[in-house]
């Protein structure tokens, strides 16, 4: 186990489980992860290998004997009949039979209905009435000569949820983890390997948890297929429900006027709409209108009566075009049905998760480490709905006065949710608070900027903040605003004058400046670029190409050219050198690095292979290992008068699937997500 896994087991003993076990025990059971982890938490919440093996077999046996497969429902019914009584794991929904004044349960997979349920059970578990709940139930078969009497009798019913937890102990244990460790623990808890994600990508994943811990939080995520947009809402928590966007009605979602039955928003913490995008969909106008009112005011009307609820609303859908295309031809909400492509509806959204920044889920992205049993974390998040961290930043920062009340509320809700998830103990540093505040502002700005495109009555707003005691305004931009400024602003608009002037006063180029802005003539200048995390469109050709011209000797100093992907980055840099050198000239390239203590032979094989294969391009590559192993700076020195300072060396790209020959990210650098890095081009006086 890793050091983090050991630490997790030390402080959360009995409340965590190894995440790869879910796949092992699931088999062909179509059952949510939280159900499986509930069982794993009963038998495998340990780091002892023998206990885990034994627990896995126990869980498999429980599923084999008691989980009801639809295609084996007849066999299960027969078992109950012959034994007289049998425990089953199934999704159970309850309806009120008002003719006979009784509650009747329906077992989804078993295909049994009209099973009597006592009123006390419904009072304890009201969600049985809306959408159904996964339960463990003792079911008996008692045949009767009276045809109207159902032969199936429910002796006990236990929803698959954590029975109790100690929130104070959770807070106390949180204090033993650094911020980075805690983020990685949360990411492992939702099933992902944190090593495959940048910090920004981790935050985008964790924003998906906010609807569970923040009341009436409205969030939308649009992006490519296969990025796991709906997974959290269908598999993660027993307090959330995922429904198809086209299958919801006013009675189902809010209230049935004929019988007064409350809908989904009255029982669930998060109601998520899957497949929400699609221009050809025609949602009910009455539903859209009542949804607007609910998202704005947390209430909805039933005749003369006004009801309130606290369910968060989540909208997820697929986009058909990439970001620059949408910005050039329409807007980032373009995929929505016309009834929802409405400024009044969209203005109710608190955060827009940029789904295009999230990688398509691959096998190596899943975690094999330890994480919370998701039901435990789900209960923690539910408990946090009673907490409020929305003002936690005001000791250090103030939002700009131009920000409207609605925008301010959206920023506060996101910031509060992130604080609950990451810093439930409230112990965040000033820099950490600032980072979360910037992230929260960006998510709301993404919504507001698109509203300007859709509705001309919306005016440009300065999104930013000032530090307490300072007059200097810090403006926040979305990543796509920095990456595609030529398409981002509606015709006739741009950044506000004050934002532009503020950027011009910086000694360095604006944060997120793209290499496309590099000078294209032969008169090069000293320059500094800051590339943001998850930014795309960066390649070595654009970054270094013009500065390599005329160089015949190049010295690369980088301590970390050891692993395969680092050697691949070096090879790709040499490919750029080959493109910009005259065909009839040779270039000497020397690498100064450090020998790996454990995989030195593999490292030498990589470098030797590069040396052999780049020779035909007229590049004479060599390397030397620094004997003192104390290289700190990373830079490239050229004998044409330029020096390139690289804070991350050549390791500027995030992990991608290098084994997939058909992946654009594998083939073309511009389609890879970047790590955050800075590069400075200076005239070398030597």
pLDDT digits (tens, 9 = 90+) for 352-369: 999 999 988 888 899 999
Cα of 351 vs its chain's centroid, Å: 13
DSSP state of 671: G
Determine how β-strand 218-223 pairs with β-strand 312-318.
parallel
Question: What is the rounded average pLDDT of the residues 272-287?
Answer: 90
The reported pLDDT for the residue numbered 512 is: 40
State the helix-helix crossing angle for 374-383 and 167-174, rounded to 10 degrees: 100
Domain 515-683 sits in CATH at 3.30.870.30
Say yes or no to pLDDT of 258 above 70. Answer: yes
Hey, which residues does 140 pair with through a beta bridge? 85, 153
**Least reliable range by pLDDT among 380-384, 573-577, 628-632:** 628-632
The reported pLDDT for the residue numbered 510 is: 41
The reported pLDDT for the residue numbered 686 is: 61
* Residue ranges per structural domain of the chain: 70-159, 388-504, 515-683
Fold of the CATH domain 70-159: OB fold (Dihydrolipoamide Acetyltransferase, E2P) (2.40.50)
In angstroms, rounded to a whole number, what is the distance separating the alpha carbons of residues 392 and 407? 17
pLDDT digits (tens, 9 = 90+) for 420-431: 999 999 999 999
Average predicted confidence (pLDDT) for the chain: 90
CA angle 64, 65, 67 (to 5 degrees): 70
The reported pLDDT for the residue numbered 507 is: 36
Range 175-184, long-range pairs (CB < 8 A, 24+ positions): 175/425, 175/427, 176/7, 176/11, 177/7, 177/11, 179/422, 179/423, 179/428, 179/432, 181/4, 181/7, 182/422, 183/422, 184/4
Spatial contact of 19 and 366, defined as CB atoms under 8 Å apart: yes
pLDDT digits (tens, 9 = 90+) for 522-550: 578 999 999 999 999 999 999 999 999 99
The reported pLDDT for the residue numbered 316 is: 96
- 140 phi and psi angles, rounded to 5 deg: -115, 160
Say yes or no to pLDDT of 503 above 50. Answer: no
The reported pLDDT for the residue numbered 370 is: 94
Percent of the chain with pLDDT over 70: 94
Comparing CA positions, the residue from 218, 217, 184 lying closest to residue 202 is: 184
């Amino acid at each position: 186990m890793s050091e983090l896994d050991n630490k997790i087991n030390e402080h959360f003993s009995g409340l965590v489980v190894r995440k790869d076990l879910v796949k092992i025990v699931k088999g062909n059971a179509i059952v949510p992860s939280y159900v499986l982890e509930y069982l794993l938490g009963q038998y495998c919440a340990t780091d002892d290998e023998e206990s885990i093996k034994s627990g896995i077999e126990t869980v498999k046996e429980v599923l084999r004997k008691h989980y009801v497969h639809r295609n084996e429902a007849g066999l299960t019914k027969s078992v109950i009949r012959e034994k007289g009584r049998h425990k089953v794991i199934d999704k159970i929904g309850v309806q009120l039979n008002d003719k006979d004044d009784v509650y009747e349960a329906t077992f989804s997979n078993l295909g049994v209905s009209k099973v009597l349920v006592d009123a006390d059970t419904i009072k304890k578990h009201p969600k049985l009435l809306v959408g159904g709940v996964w339960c463990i139930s003792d079911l008996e078969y008692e045949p009767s000569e009276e045809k109207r009497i159902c032969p199936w009798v429910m002796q006990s019913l236990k929803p698959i949820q954590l029975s109790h937890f100690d929130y104070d102990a959770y807070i106390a244990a949180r204090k033993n983890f650094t911020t980075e460790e805690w983020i990685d623990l949360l990411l492992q808890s939702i099933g992902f390997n944190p090593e495959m994600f940048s910090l920004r990508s981790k935050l985008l994943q964790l924003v998906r948890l906010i609807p569970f811990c923040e009341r009436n939080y409205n969030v939308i995520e649009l992006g490519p297929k296969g990025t796991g947009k709906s997974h959290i809402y269908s598999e993660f928590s027993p307090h959330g429900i995922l429904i198809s966007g086209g299958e919801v009605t006013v009675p189902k979602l809010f209230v049935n006027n004929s019988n007064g039955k409350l809908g989904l928003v009255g029982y669930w913490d998060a109601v998520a709409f899957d497949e929400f995008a699609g221009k050809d969909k025609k949602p009910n106008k009455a539903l859209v209108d009542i949804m607007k009112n609910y998202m704005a005011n947390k209430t909805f009307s039933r005749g003369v009566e006004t009801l309130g609820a606290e369910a968060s609303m989540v909208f997820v859908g697929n986009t058909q075009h990439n970001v620059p295309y949408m910005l050039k031809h329409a807007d980032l909400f373009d995929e929505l049905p016309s009834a929802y492509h409405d400024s009044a509806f969209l203005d109710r959204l608190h955060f827009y998760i940029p789904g295009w920044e999230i990688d398509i889920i691959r096998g190596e992205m899943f975690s094999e480490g330890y994480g919370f049993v998701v039901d435990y974390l789900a209960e923690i998040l539910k408990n946090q709905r009673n907490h409020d961290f929305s003002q936690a930043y005001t000791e250090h920062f103030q939002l700009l006065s131009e920000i409207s009340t609605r925008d301010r509320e959206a920023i506060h809700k996101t910031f509060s949710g992130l604080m609950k998830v990451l810093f439930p103990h409230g112990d965040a540093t000033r820099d950490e608070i600032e980072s979360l505040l910037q992230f929260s502002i960006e998510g709301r700005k993404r919504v507001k900027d698109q509203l300007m495109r859709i509705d001309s009555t919306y005016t440009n707003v300065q999104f930013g903040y000032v530090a307490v005691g300072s007059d200097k305004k810090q403006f926040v931009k979305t990543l796509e605003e920095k990456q595609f400024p030529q398409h981002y602003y509606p015709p006739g608009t741009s950044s506000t004058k004050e934002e532009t002037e503020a950027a011009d006063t910086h000694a360095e180029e604006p944060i997120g400046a793209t290499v496309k802005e590099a000078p294209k003539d032969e008169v090069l200048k000293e320059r500094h670029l800051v590339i943001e995390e998850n930014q795309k469109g960066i390649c070595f050709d654009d970054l270094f190409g013009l500065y390599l011209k005329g160089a015949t000797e190049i010295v690369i100093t980088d301590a970390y050219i050891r692993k395969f992907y680092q050697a691949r980055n070096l090879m790709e840099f040499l490919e750029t050198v080959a493109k910009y050198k005259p065909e009839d000239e040779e270039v000497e390239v020397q690498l100064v690095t450090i020998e790996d203590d454990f995989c030195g032979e593999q490292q030498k094989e990589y470098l030797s292979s590069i040396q052999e294969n780049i020779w035909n391009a007229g590049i004479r590559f060599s390397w030397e290992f620094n004997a003192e192993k104390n290289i700190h700076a990373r830079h490239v020195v050229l004998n044409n008068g330029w020096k390139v300072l690289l804070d991350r060396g050549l390791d500027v790209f995030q992990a991608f699937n290098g084994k997939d020959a058909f992946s654009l990210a594998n083939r073309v650098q511009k389609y890879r997500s970047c790590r955050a890095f800075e590069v400075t081009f200076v005239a070398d006086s030597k």
